[in-house]
Amino acid sequence: MAFQLSPGVLVKEIDLTNIVPAVATSIGAIAAGFPQGPVEEIIPIGSEAELAYFFGKPNSDNFETWFTAANFLQYGNALRVVRADTAAVNATADGTGLKIKNDTDYEDNYADGSGSVGEWAAKFPGTYGNSIGVSVCSSATAYEQTVTSTVDGAHSIGATTLAVTDGTEFSVGDIIYLQETNGQQYEVTAIATNDLTIRQLDNPNGGGLKTAMAGGEAIRRRWKFYDLFDAAPGTSTWAAGKNLASDELHVVVYDRDGGITGFDADIAGQRTTAVLETFAFASQANTAKTPQGGTNFYANVVNTGSEYVRWMDHDATLTNAGTTLASGGTYASSAGNDGVLTDTLSGGTDDNPTIGELDIAYQLFADVDTVDVNLVMAGTCPASTDGVTHATMIIDLCEARKDCVGFISPRREDVVGVTTGAAQTTNVVGFFDQLASSSYAVFDSGYKYMYDKYNDVYRYVPLNGDIAGLAANTDNVAEPWYSPAGYNRGQIRGAVKVAFNPTKAQRDILYPARVNPVMTQPGQGTVLFGDKTALARPSAFDRINVRRLFIVLEKAIATAAKFQLFEFNDEFTRAQFRNLVEPFLRDVQGRRGITDFSVVADETNNTGEVIDRNEFVADIYIKPARSINFITLNFIAVRTGVSFSEIGG
């Protein structure tokens, strides 16, 4: 401490409350090709609904890996997902398509409007963006006006074609009001010179005029989405304070053909149902603020608030958009139907990732210091040697991190559609024999048959998501060092049947080959019937519970040990470390994780040479608890007159 040079009171605070912290053990990780969502970015997912929301619903190309992730979420609620990069591109307003991977890619390359693909682009790559429409109302007259055109000539009740004196004042999608006493409004569905094809607004059956027209009736024209907003765009409070005018506009993002919501904005009765997002009273001024002080520039408002589109450029008619005019300035906004700016996005494409692209995606999980994951799922292993390459990459990732376990299923071709159990056994063992020995990987025996509610079909899906899920569920109902297998904690959910249901003889072949059988028994359901890791040599680490026990101990104690860095390597520091670790290990022992332990951190392993190298050494000896894999029941018959004490009973 600092020396005091004169009398006084020095107050010091010493923290002796340090403990070994709890660490996460149930966080899943998977990478795959998905139809939508950010590319090459780790997204935390907590439920199947979130998985579908962020990455789209399963399709015939990705259902195996999609349901691997979804099946994991049946058991746990912490999943990290990466969408692999592919040749897929975003839909754009000009239809040319453009790859924008994620928010970082957009901010680095396109946020300045240099994309040159029109006014808008889908937020992420994929064909889903081809269903998106964007409608902008840029002025009060575009929002609503009584046009100079009137009804031209007599029309009878039920007429679906309305003749007007000037058809140029209307656009397809406009809502018109003919001053009828019943308040009926009509949607313009087509225009042929001065003839408007109309249907009753929001009437699923369409329908024509409700009132006969004599001719000369006034027409009130409205923006297609006018009723979703409280009032027409005008001058914002911020602009009025700067002596500016007419800066506001409204933006609607909608599903124009039902590809996203199932509703089609161009079908009668589904106009507002198909709306995805609305942005009201945004400003064309790039420095505009809301009353609360946040940005109100429409490009920023849409970019930060939309889940479907990104701003790419200003419409040519908004000549002052993106600037802040001098006092007295007015933002240019076209009047009438010319002030409705509509874009339909197209050019978006899908694509499936290659093995290399998948590897790049999984490498986002490689940094132990910044990414916390514990249960890495392989999803589907592709056919032939690509499956071996993919599985090897998962093992290498987990071996490099040394704080997580990889879960791998055989290839589809090994078990699905293979007619005999003998052939399935040979295929599965043959596949896994090509993979390296590792205690950081777990192999299972196949695929389960499950219902795909999104497409109303049954599908075969690899089991590695379920096996990883069982490990996560074991953490919740017991401890990480308990085995996830067996009738108590090894029940597979959602399985109608398994593609390969190994017999006892086949299990006797699989288990020595490092493969954990998954079997279905009458009255018992589908059960994980093994808890081996992929380690080939005999060791305590050839069991899942022991490997996960050591991951927990190593991760937790290493986290606590960081606070010994840059302290002195003396007996005080060593005693402090022992006092930190031993209570933690006693707690684990009390929770049946270990049977005994010893912590050595003294002058025997911290010699003068160790101290002079600025090192600190602690030896932690652990006796792990072992799971029961084999049960022997000896039933012994004895004569009536024999005493049990005489024969050891």
Token pair listed for 595: 């049977």
Segment 258-277 shows an average pLDDT of 93
Answer yes or no: is 369 within a domain.
Answer: yes
Residue 534, Cβ neighbours under 10 Å: how many?
25
Indicate if 408 and 504 belong to the same structural domain. Answer: yes
Structure tokens at 440: 């950081």
Sign of the C-alpha dihedral computed for residues 132, 137, 142 and 143 taken in this order:
positive
Q: Please, what is the Cα angle at 168 between 245 and 275, to 5 degrees?
A: 65
Per the structure, the count of domains in the chain is: 4
Whether 565 is covered by a domain: the verdict is no
Mean pLDDT of 603-628: 91
Domain ranges, residue 438 = 28-85+353-544
Q: Per the structure block, which two tokens stand in for 110?
A: 């396109």
Is 80 exceeded by the pLDDT of residue 19? no
Q: Which of 13-22, 304-313, 329-338, 570-579 shows the lowest per-residue confidence on average (mean pLDDT)? A: 13-22
Cα dihedral 461/467/469/472 (nearest 10): -170
CATH (domain of 182): 2.40.30
Which pLDDT band, with edges at 50, 70 and 90, does 397 fall under?
A: very high
**From 161-175, 219-233, 550-564, the region with the lowest mean pLDDT:** 550-564
479-503: string of b/e by CB count within 10 Å (b at 16+)?
bbbbbbbbeebbbbeebeebbbbbe
Whole-number Å distance between alpha carbons of 11 and 648: 69
Residue 151 sits in the same domain as residue 291: no
pLDDT at position 639, please? 80
Task: Tell whether 436 and 468 lie within a shared domain.
Answer: yes
Mean pLDDT of 613-630: 88
- Based on the fold, state whether residues 483 and 517 are members of the same structural domain: yes
- Sheet holding 497-498: strands in order across? 457-462, 447-452, 497-498
For 384, the 3-state DSSP assignment is: helix
The pLDDT value given to residue 61 = 92
Show the DSSP H helices in 511-618 as ranges: 544-561, 571-590, 608-612
Give the Cα separation of 223 and 142 in Å (integer): 6
- Whether 389 is in a domain gets the answer yes
Alpha-carbon distance of 70 to 80, in angstroms, equals 12
H or E element: which one contains 191?
A: strand 185-192
372 and 421 co-located in one domain: yes
**End position of a domain, from candidates 298, 320, 344:** 344
User: Is 90 exceeded by the pLDDT of residue 528?
Assistant: yes
pLDDT at 606 over 60: yes
Q: Are residues 256 and 195 in the same domain?
A: no
Going through 385-432 in order, the beta strands assigned E by DSSP cover: 405-408
pLDDT for residue 552 is more than 70: yes
The answer to whether residues 124 and 162 belong to one domain is no
Instruction: Give the pLDDT score at 6.
Output: 80
Residue 61: how many CB atoms within 10 A of its CB?
14
In a domain, 553, yes or no: no
Nearest to 501 by CA among 481, 482, 524: 524
Is residue 513 classed exposed, middle or buried when 0-12, 13-18 and 19+ CB atoms within 10 A define those classes? middle
Q: Which of 326, 344, 362 is the last residue of a domain?
A: 344
The predicted model scores a pTM of 0.89
Cα three-residue angle 446-449-450, rounded to 5 degrees: 130
Whether residue 61 is contained in a domain is answered as: yes
Q: What does the pLDDT average to over 92-118?
A: 94
Give the SS3 label for residue 490: coil
d(CA 620, CA 269): 70
* Same-domain pairing of 602 and 530: no
Residues 430-486: pLDDT tens digits? 999 999 999 999 999 999 999 999 999 999 999 999 999 999 999 999 999 999 999
pLDDT tens for 158-205 read 999 999 999 999 999 999 999 998 899 999 999 999 999 999 998 888
Residue 368 clears pLDDT 70, i.e. is over it: yes
Contact 82, 41 (CB under 8 A): yes
Residues 265 and 372 in one domain: no
DSSP 492: P
The stretch 209-233 carries a mean pLDDT of 96
Could you give the count of Cα atoms lying within 13 Å of 603 in the half-sphere of its Cβ? 4
pLDDT confidence of residue 560: 87
Give 318-354 as a DSSP string.
Answer: -TTTTS-PPTT-B-----GGGGEEEEE-B-----PPP
| Statement to judge: residues 281 and 250 lie in one domain | yes
pLDDT beyond 60 at 1: no
CATH (domain of 72):
3.40.50.11780
Assign 23 a pLDDT band (cuts: 50, 70, 90): confident
Region of poorest pLDDT, from 503-517, 614-628, 633-647: 633-647
Q: Distance (Å, rounded) from C-alpha 358 to C-alpha 32?
A: 6
Q: What mean pLDDT do residues 611-623 have?
A: 92
Mean pLDDT of 538-565: 91
* pLDDT score, position 632: 78
Domain annotation covers residue 392: yes
Determine the average pLDDT of the residues in 398-427.
96
Average pLDDT over residues 602-628: 91
pLDDT band at residue 643 using 50, 70 and 90 as cut-offs? confident
pLDDT of 10 above 80:
no
Percent of the chain with pLDDT over 90: 85
The whole-angstrom separation of Cα 473 and Cα 480 is 9
20-29, 266-275, 440-449, range with the lowest pLDDT: 20-29
> Which of these three, 177, 208, 228, is where a domain ends?
228
Q: Residue 2 pLDDT > 80, yes or no? A: no
pLDDT of 32 above 80: yes
The answer to whether residue 20 sits within a structural domain is no
- Statement to judge: residues 60 and 74 lie in one domain: yes
For the cut 70, the answer to whether the pLDDT of residue 649 exceeds it is: no
On whether residue 617 sits in a domain, the answer given is yes
List 34's β-bridge partners, or say none: none
For residue 642, what pLDDT band results from cuts at 50, 70 and 90?
Answer: confident
- Note whether 199 and 269 are same-domain residues: no
Q: Is residue 600 very low, low, confident or very high in pLDDT (cuts 50, 70, 90)? A: very high
Kindly tell me if the per-residue pLDDT of 571 is higher than 80: yes
| The pLDDT value given to residue 645 | 77
